[in-house]
Amino acid sequence: MSDEWAALAERIAGHAQNYLDGLTRLAGGEGGDGILPLLLVEVAQVSLAGTQLGAMQDVILQGNVEPALSDDPDVDPLRTALAARLGPVDDYAEVFDPYKDTAVTPYRLSDDLAAVAADLLHGLRHHRAGRPSEALWWWQYSYFNTWGNHAGAALRALQALVAHTRLDVVEESTVV
């Protein structure tokens, strides 16, 4: 593995860990009423890592085989905690693929955020096991296959929610 790719693996691992840490804190109640803009920041930051993976050449593993890992940790408690925190704004509608499937599909922010977490966590496990090539391969593959779409959909939904909280306000009357 080249020094450039090893450095990229370190950067992506850092982004992935920051996302997981931030999501866990927000699901646990940190951030209070500011959860939506804070989630927007978390998703935007990890999306930057994804775009770097999308812009680089394909990572091909030697033998084109991913080494086996034990079962990934369950992210469902994280998803459930996020769903509880998000409450009525958890559900939203999205066009899954604007080029192939233009039907509106129901989504949940908690599902999207947890799906991103699960894919990032899987890659982190490779990285922590000293397999940065496998980590990069997984993050890139799963970015195109799963978490990139979920992060993009969540980013659009969160941006809309934050915009609504800032723009959809009752005009204040002024006393002259």
Domains within the chain, CATH numbers bracketed: 3-167 (1.20.120)
Write out the two tokens for 63.
């033998």
pLDDT for 99 = 83
Residue 60's closest CA among 160, 147, 137, 149?
137
Q: How far apart are CA 30 and CA 23, in angstroms?
A: 10
Handedness of CA 90, 79, 105, 121 (dihedral sign): positive
Q: How far apart are CA 10 and CA 130, in angstroms?
A: 11
Q: How far apart are CA 163 and CA 158, in angstroms?
A: 8
pLDDT by position in tens, the chain (length 176): 688 888 999 999 999 999 999 999 999 999 999 999 999 999 999 999 999 888 877 877 676 666 677 788 899 999 999 999 999 999 999 887 778 878 888 999 999 999 999 999 999 999 999 989 999 999 999 999 999 999 999 999 999 999 988 887 666 555 65
Q: Is 23 in contact with 117 (CB distance < 8 Å)?
A: yes
The 10 Å CB-count burial string (b at 16+, else e) for 145-165 is: eebbbbbebbbebbeebbeee
Residue 15's closest CA among 37, 56, 40, 47?
47
Q: How far apart are CA 23 and CA 69, in angstroms?
A: 24
H or E segment to which residue 108 belongs: strand 101-108
pLDDT for 43 = 98
pLDDT for 174 = 58
pLDDT for 140 = 93
